């Protein structure tokens, strides 16, 4: 099962928005939000909440790609998020997520018994490549008790 299939199966909101999971690796995750009238805002583009969910889902995909092998001993949790809406988004949009810390450094903290935190940076782009939003989600790996 791919990471996209796993997220679609376990995260109802990803299914609700019909998110499409493309590239998913520990270095980069790309998730697309098709243009769907049910999720438009008052100006006909994707609603801010849909764009937030898109970005958060891309961050979750990269977290699973980077730390999926740690799930037996820790659960990934979003700690906080910040989003800036830069330009009007119209039509389909995609989120590109990148991990903000080396995987080995995060795992080393987990090995030391700590609860590591790490940022994921996300750009949300229109089809023409314009950046419509920038987001950061800070994640943690909470050790299982």
Average pLDDT along the chain, 145 residues, taken 10 residues at a time? 84 91 94 96 94 97 96 96 95 97 97 96 97 98 92
Q: Is 72 helix (H, G, I), strand (E, B) or coil?
A: coil
Provide the pLDDT for residue 9: 82
Provide the pLDDT for residue 50: 96
Provide the pLDDT for residue 84: 97
DSSP-derived letter for residue 46 is B
* Whether the Cβ atoms of residue 139 and residue 97 lie closer than 8 Å to each other: no
Provide the pLDDT for residue 1: 79
pTM: 0.95
Give the number of other Cβ atoms within 10 Å of residue 143's Cβ. Answer: 14
Dihedral in degrees, nearest 10, Cα atoms 77, 82, 86, 91? 30
Provide the pLDDT for residue 49: 95
Provide the pLDDT for residue 145: 79
Provide the pLDDT for residue 80: 98
CATH number of the domain where residue 64 is located: 3.10.129.10
C-alpha 61/C-alpha 97 separation (Å) is 8
Cβ contacts of residue 42 below 8 Å, gap of 6+? none
Dihedral in degrees, nearest 10, Cα atoms 13, 1, 68, 137? -30
State in Å, rounded, how far the first CA of the chain is from the last one: 27
Residue 12's domain spans which residues? 3-143
Q: Total structural domains in the chain?
A: 1
């Amino acid at each position: 099962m791919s990471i996209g299939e796993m997220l679609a199966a376990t995260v109802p909101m990803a299914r609700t928005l019909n998110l499409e999971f493309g590239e998913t690796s520990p270095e980069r995750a790309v998730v697309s939000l098709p243009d769907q009238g049910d999720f438009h805002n008052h100006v006909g583009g994707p609603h801010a909440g849909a764009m937030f969910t898109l970005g958060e889902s891309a961050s979750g995909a990269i977290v699973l790609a980077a730390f999926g092998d740690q799930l037996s001993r820790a659960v990934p949790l979003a700690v906080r998020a910040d989003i800036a809406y830069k330009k009007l988004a119209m039509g389909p949009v995609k989120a590109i997520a990148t991990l903000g810390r080396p995987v080995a450094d995060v795992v080393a903290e987990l090995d030391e018994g700590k609860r590591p935190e790490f940022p994921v940076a996300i750009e949300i782009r229109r089809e023409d490549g314009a950046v419509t939003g920038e987001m950061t989600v800070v994640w943690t790996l909470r050790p299982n008790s």
